[in-house]
A and B are shown apart, each in its own frame.
Chain A
Amino acid sequence: MAVLTEEQTLLRDAARTWVREKAPLSALRGLRNAADARPYDPAAYAEMAAMGWAGVIIPESHGGSAFGCQSLGLILEALGRNLVASPLIVTTLGVASAILMGGTAEQQSALLQGIAAGDLVGALAIDEGPHHRPEDVALPAVRTKDGWRLSGSKTFVLEGMAADVFLVSARTGGKPGDRDGISLFLVPADANGLSRSSMPLVDSRGAARLVLDQVDVDVDALLGPAGQGWALLDATLDRVRAGLAAEMLGSALQAFDTTLDYLKVRVQFGQPIGAFQALQHRAAKMYADLELTRSCVEAAFAAIDAGDANIAELVSLAKAKAGGTLHTVSNEMVQMHGGIGMTDAHDAGLYLKRARVAETALGGQAYHRDRYARLQGY
């Protein structure tokens, strides 16, 4: 654990306590079994917002506490332990970050207060195909007399079914694959011509597919400079990736702890199975991976809060490492539990499923290794 400030320690302890007492894993099962397939429990999110979590990275002038992204990461790690579903990552590290880093004073005033209060939920409409390639945006936005007209579709929009506002990447110049010519828009969910449909995912949280059929937005829906939105998009995505990595770290830690407990109590051949060296060594290697992952996640957030030059490198490191670690630990969770781990009644499957979705979101291990290599010039 990084050396924390007093405020961070209080925040972390509060998050751990709340998750332990108020957000059991059974809540996720409840969501899954609910008829309306909600992506999260609004009452739980209201509690989080009441504790100030939705405003952790938002300035005090807009109703937040400005504790920084690292502090939010501590909360996300705690939430990840019990796979707590919430729009906290995409709404605050995603939409609020983009508005903070690239929005006008008017845009900030219009939206940040509502986000900090937990009243406004945002989502990122970036991907257009099955793989995360944010440069490949094709969805065109054309200038109209009063603003812009967007037409096209987006997929894998996390928390998309609950969002009030979308951050939509669109093309106003160049061709898919170009970093030039990308523009970002804030599109209200109730805009004429925008429709969404649910994409139930294996992790019981779900995403949305968006269709924008000649959606007209005002000029002030444009976030940042027209055609030059790449830098803002990239910086925004990096904050969300770091948030996902923190959540994945928490999930991996809990999956590991649960598995370790089982190794100590399950008896076969007259031994607790944790006494067998084959399993001990695998457990020890997972422990090593968890420690390395923590260092990467903390370093990524520290770089983000300090505005360092190597944010992209450290974020790709954290997202790739967290993806690999959670993948390994959740697979081992099933294997080390044996048959019981294959049952729906056991929690192992929940971690295994969430691992895949979180890893795929905003770039999997392969994407981030490639990005890391390019950043290093080979």
Chain B
Amino acid sequence: MADFGGSQPGEFEGEVKAWLAENYPGELRAPSPITDPNAIWGGRAFAGSDDPQIRWMRAMAARGWTAPTWPTEYGGGGLGAEEAQILEQALISGGYRRPLASFGLWMLGPVLLEYATPAQKRAHLPGIVAGDIRWCQGYSEPGAGSDLAALRTRCEDAGDHWLINGQKVWTSYADQADWCFCLVRTDTAKKHEGISFVLIDMTTPGVETHPIRLISGESPFCETFFTDVKIPKDNLIGRVGGGWEIAKRLLQYERQNISGGFGAGGGAGGLAGDLGAIAARYIGVDATGALADGDLRGRITRNKMDTQALHLTIARLAAEARTGNGPNAATSIIKYAAATLAQERSELMIEAMGSQGLGWAGDGFKPDERLAARGWLRSKGNSIEGGTSEVNLNVVAKRVLGLPDLVPGA
């Protein structure tokens, strides 16, 4: 049963809509609002900022509505699933911008709620809800990609503190993050059981980050070095050697989150818009109105249909989850399907644009065209980040379909 605090669902919806309408900064209603594109991520860089996106974030955070279902004692909204759904719908239907985008909200927060001590929750959750602290994720290492548990960054017990030495890679936006949640090795004798989960303030002496330039020319990822970094004993979450369980749990949240971002919008870096209509502009149509390139038309249609099928599946799984039967095993296919379709789509996009889809820079190309080319390159990462498609398929085969492991030595 949802707890509406004495009020009825309809009444709650009315209150929510009225409050949103009253508190949404007017500047954000403009067709192209003037706001820093990074503001949505919050963090110390925006402390004291007057950016309208930040004011929106603060207003929502004050009610705990940046984290609607988290407990109020940690700054959350304390809403039930049904109320949170009403709020979510009101935000979408009202055309409101998201108040806060945050790895803290999507990934770290849920595992802190599950594994952290009350003191650790009090120390970190309110800053996430408020958008005061921007978090990054320190998981992959040069020698630990798909085989994440092979990670080697050392975390040694130095009496009154932990001492950390090692290197992380693909730490998204580490150069702009305030804190890092990190997997480290506390025991070199055991693989999975030797891993622990720690929180590191990025301003600690010995932490160094460098952005990595990608084939698309962007640098959303970093490599991060830890040299004799001292962190308080309290910054280890769960038990020593219990990090792998937390990591797996957190990866589930990450995969959910990554797949949510793909789709008709084109996935990370992709150009939005209807592929069929864009192709028709660049290629033209025949006398019957069909795209003049029949082969491309067929391939575009396959991609559009599969993408619609994916969206219908995401909606179906969400509806089923709301009936309370727990997460459906089918959620495990979403990330794989979303990545594949987003990559296909970004290739079809530049193919439709012909030579205009190959522009790197300059006035000879419209901004959309350059974005399509960069998006095509960026999309190559869709099937790598957050678990490769191959690892994804392994997981489906073993955990969902129950297919066996190889018999060693046979």
Contact = CB atoms under 8 A, between A and B. Distances in A.
Contacts of B404: 264, 271-272, 274-275
Interface in B290-304: 290-291, 297-298, 300-302, 304
A275 B403 CA distance: 6
A377 B276 contact: yes
A299 B304 CA distance: 16
B279 interface: yes
Given A271-B406, A378-B280, A317 B297 contact: no
B88 to A, nearest CB: 18
B308 A378 contact: no
A3 B289 contact: no
B312 interface: yes
A169 B321 CA distance: 45
> What range describes how many residues of B lie at the interface?
35 or more
B407 A378 contact: no
B330 A291 contact: yes
B21 interface: no
Query: Which of B323, B336, B397, B406 has the most chain A CB atoms closer than 10 A to its own CB?
Result: B397
A20 interface: no
B163 interface: no
A284 B393 contact: yes
A3 B306 CA distance: 22
B285 interface: yes
Interface in A189-242: none
Interface in B391-410: 392-394, 396-398, 400-407, 410
Contacts of B402: 260, 264
Contacts of A281: 390, 393-394, 397
B289 A295 contact: no
A2 B302 CA distance: 24
Contacts of B280: 377-378
Interface in B6-45: none
Contacts of A370: 290, 301
Query: Which of B290, B291, B304, B404 has the most chain A CB atoms closer than 10 A to its own CB?
Result: B404
B86 interface: no
A167 B141 CA distance: 67
Contacts of B239: none
A2 B285 CA distance: 38
A253 B187 CA distance: 46
A377 B289 CA distance: 7
Contacts of B397: 277, 280-281, 283-284
B213 interface: no
Interface string B65-103: 000000000000000000000000000000000000000
Contacts of B330: 291
Nearest to B397: A280
Contacts of B49: none
B313 interface: yes
Nearest to B392: A284
Query: Which of A270, A281, A292 has the most chain B CB atoms closer than 10 A to its own CB?
Result: A292
A369 B319 contact: no
Contacts of B276: 373, 376-378
Contact of A260 (B319, B394, B401): B401
Interface string A274-307: 1111011101110110011111101100000000
B333 interface: yes
A3 B406 CA distance: 38
Contacts of A317: 305, 308-309
Given A3-B320, A285-B393, A378 B297 contact: yes
Contacts of B290: 370, 373-374, 378
B410 A269 contact: yes
A-B pairs, top 8 by smallest CB distance, nearest first, are: A270-B410, A280-B397, A378-B276, A295-B312, A284-B396, A288-B333, A292-B309, A295-B313
8 contacts: A270-B410, A275-B407, A277-B394, A277-B397, A280-B401, A283-B401, A284-B336, A284-B394
Given A280-B398, A292-B309, A295-B312, 7 more contacts: A3-B323, A260-B403, A280-B394, A284-B392, A288-B333, A294-B316, A321-B309
Interface of B: 274, 276-277, 279-280, 285, 289-291, 297-298, 300-302, 304-306, 308-310, 312-313, 315-316, 319-320, 323, 330, 333, 336-337, 390, 392-394, 396-398, 400-407, 410
Interface of A: 1-3, 260, 263-264, 269-272, 274-277, 279-281, 283-285, 287-288, 291-296, 298-299, 317, 320-321, 366, 369-370, 372-374, 376-378
